[in-house]
Protein backbone atom coordinates (compact mmCIF):
# COMPACT_ATOMS: atom_id res chain seq x y z
CA UNK A 1 0.00 0.00 0.00
CA UNK A 2 2.81 2.39 0.90
CA UNK A 3 4.71 1.56 -2.28
CA UNK A 4 1.60 2.17 -4.42
CA UNK A 5 1.07 5.59 -2.83
CA UNK A 6 4.72 6.43 -3.35
CA UNK A 7 4.57 5.46 -7.02
CA UNK A 8 1.36 7.49 -7.54
CA UNK A 9 2.97 10.59 -6.06
CA UNK A 10 6.11 10.08 -8.19
CA UNK A 11 4.00 9.74 -11.34
CA UNK A 12 2.04 12.88 -10.45
CA UNK A 13 5.26 14.81 -9.85
CA UNK A 14 6.70 13.56 -13.15
CA UNK A 15 3.55 14.55 -15.02
CA UNK A 16 3.58 18.13 -13.76
CA UNK A 17 7.33 18.75 -14.12
CA UNK A 18 8.91 18.99 -17.56
CA UNK A 19 12.61 18.37 -17.68
CA UNK A 20 14.75 20.36 -20.07
CA UNK A 21 15.87 17.19 -21.84
CA UNK A 22 14.67 13.60 -21.83
CA UNK A 23 16.48 10.56 -23.14
CA UNK A 24 14.55 7.77 -24.82
CA UNK A 25 16.37 4.86 -26.41
CA UNK A 26 19.57 6.80 -27.00
CA UNK A 27 17.84 9.88 -28.52
CA UNK A 28 17.80 13.18 -26.70
CA UNK A 29 14.55 15.10 -27.04
CA UNK A 30 14.36 18.79 -26.21
CA UNK A 31 11.00 19.61 -24.69
CA UNK A 32 9.28 22.81 -25.68
CA UNK A 33 6.07 24.47 -24.65
CA UNK A 34 4.11 21.68 -26.32
CA UNK A 35 4.26 18.14 -24.92
CA UNK A 36 6.35 15.52 -26.69
CA UNK A 37 5.08 11.94 -26.72
CA UNK A 38 7.74 9.32 -26.16
CA UNK A 39 6.67 5.74 -25.67
CA UNK A 40 9.83 4.42 -24.06
CA UNK A 41 10.42 6.90 -21.23
CA UNK A 42 11.33 5.11 -18.01
CA UNK A 43 9.40 5.92 -14.85
CA UNK A 44 11.37 7.71 -12.14
CA UNK A 45 13.09 5.37 -9.68
CA UNK A 46 12.22 5.61 -6.02
CA UNK A 47 14.55 4.09 -3.46
CA UNK A 48 13.61 3.57 0.18
CA UNK A 49 16.28 4.25 2.78
CA UNK A 50 16.20 3.04 6.37
CA UNK A 51 17.82 5.40 8.86
CA UNK A 52 18.99 4.42 12.33
CA UNK A 53 19.15 6.80 15.23
CA UNK A 54 22.23 6.77 17.43
CA UNK A 55 20.49 8.11 20.53
CA UNK A 56 17.81 5.46 21.02
CA UNK A 57 19.90 2.57 22.39
CA UNK A 58 18.24 0.27 24.88
CA UNK A 59 19.69 -0.12 28.37
CA UNK A 60 20.39 -3.58 29.81
CA UNK A 61 18.12 -2.98 32.82
CA UNK A 62 15.22 -1.95 30.56
CA UNK A 63 15.60 -5.04 28.36
CA UNK A 64 15.81 -7.35 31.40
CA UNK A 65 12.72 -5.77 32.93
CA UNK A 66 10.68 -6.09 29.75
CA UNK A 67 11.66 -9.74 29.23
CA UNK A 68 11.00 -10.59 32.87
CA UNK A 69 7.57 -8.95 32.66
CA UNK A 70 6.80 -11.27 29.72
CA UNK A 71 7.61 -14.24 31.96
CA UNK A 72 5.65 -13.10 35.04
CA UNK A 73 3.60 -16.29 35.25
CA UNK A 74 6.61 -18.46 36.04
CA UNK A 75 8.27 -19.02 39.41
CA UNK A 76 12.00 -18.49 39.96
CA UNK A 77 12.28 -15.53 37.60
CA UNK A 78 15.78 -14.07 37.73
CA UNK A 79 18.11 -12.69 35.03
CA UNK A 80 20.12 -15.92 34.88
CA UNK A 81 17.06 -18.21 34.67
CA UNK A 82 17.34 -20.97 32.08
CA UNK A 83 14.08 -21.56 30.18
CA UNK A 84 14.09 -25.38 30.45
CA UNK A 85 16.08 -26.03 33.63
CA UNK A 86 14.85 -23.23 35.92
CA UNK A 87 11.44 -22.37 34.46
CA UNK A 88 10.46 -25.85 33.27
CA UNK A 89 9.64 -24.77 29.72
CA UNK A 90 9.55 -27.34 26.93
CA UNK A 91 10.65 -26.58 23.34
CA UNK A 92 7.22 -25.28 22.30
CA UNK A 93 7.09 -22.95 25.31
CA UNK A 94 10.58 -21.69 24.46
CA UNK A 95 9.46 -20.92 20.90
CA UNK A 96 6.47 -19.00 22.28
CA UNK A 97 8.77 -17.01 24.59
CA UNK A 98 11.05 -16.12 21.66
CA UNK A 99 8.01 -15.06 19.62
CA UNK A 100 6.82 -12.88 22.52
CA UNK A 101 10.29 -11.31 22.70
CA UNK A 102 10.18 -10.62 18.93
CA UNK A 103 6.82 -8.90 19.33
CA UNK A 104 7.87 -6.94 22.41
CA UNK A 105 11.01 -5.52 20.78
CA UNK A 106 9.66 -5.25 17.19
CA UNK A 107 12.36 -7.45 15.67
CA UNK A 108 12.54 -10.76 13.83
CA UNK A 109 14.87 -13.38 15.28
CA UNK A 110 16.12 -15.91 12.68
CA UNK A 111 15.59 -19.59 13.56
CA UNK A 112 19.30 -20.32 13.95
CA UNK A 113 19.62 -17.48 16.47
CA UNK A 114 16.37 -18.43 18.24
CA UNK A 115 17.71 -21.96 18.79
CA UNK A 116 20.64 -20.52 20.74
CA UNK A 117 18.48 -18.46 23.15
CA UNK A 118 17.90 -20.65 26.22
CA UNK A 119 17.96 -18.13 29.06
CA UNK A 120 16.91 -14.61 29.93
CA UNK A 121 20.56 -13.57 29.97
CA UNK A 122 21.09 -14.85 26.40
CA UNK A 123 17.90 -13.09 25.25
CA UNK A 124 19.07 -9.81 26.81
CA UNK A 125 22.47 -10.10 25.12
CA UNK A 126 20.85 -10.84 21.76
CA UNK A 127 18.43 -7.87 22.03
CA UNK A 128 21.23 -5.48 23.01
CA UNK A 129 23.19 -6.50 19.89
CA UNK A 130 20.29 -5.69 17.55
CA UNK A 131 20.44 -2.11 16.20
CA UNK A 132 16.75 -1.97 15.26
CA UNK A 133 15.31 -3.28 18.54
CA UNK A 134 12.93 -0.82 20.13
Buried b (16+ CB within 10 A) or exposed e, 73-97: ebeebeeebebeebbebeeeebeeb
* pLDDT tier for residue 109 given thresholds of 50, 70 and 90: very high
For residue 9, what pLDDT is reported? 66
Q: What is the pLDDT of residues 40-94, one digit of tens each?
A: 555 567 777 666 555 567 888 888 888 888 887 766 677 788 888 888 888 888 8
Q: Is 107 exposed, middle or buried (0-12, 13-18, 19+ CB in 10 A)?
A: middle
Question: pTM of the entire structure?
Answer: 0.53
Name which residue leads in pLDDT, 128 or 2.
Answer: 128
Residue ranges in 17-134 assigned as alpha helix (H): 60-70, 91-105, 111-114, 120-128
- Residue 106 CA to residue 125 CA, distance in Å, equals 16
Coil, strand, or helix at residue 128?
A: helix
21: helix, strand or coil:
strand
What pLDDT digit, counting tens, does each position of 12-50 carry? 666 655 554 444 454 544 554 555 555 555 556 777 766
1-10, 83-92, 109-118, 120-129: lowest mean pLDDT where?
Answer: 1-10
- Distance, CA of 46 to CA of 13 (rounded, Å): 12
Domains, the chain = 60-129 (1.10.1200.10)
- Indicate which residues carry an active-site annotation: 90
Q: Which of 1-5, 30-34, 84-88, 119-123 has the lowest mean pLDDT?
A: 30-34
In contact, 70 and 99? CB cutoff 8 Å: no
Amino acid sequence: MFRAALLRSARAAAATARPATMTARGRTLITAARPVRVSAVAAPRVQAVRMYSAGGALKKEEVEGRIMSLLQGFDKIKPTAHFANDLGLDSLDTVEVVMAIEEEFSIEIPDKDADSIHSIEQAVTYILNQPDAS
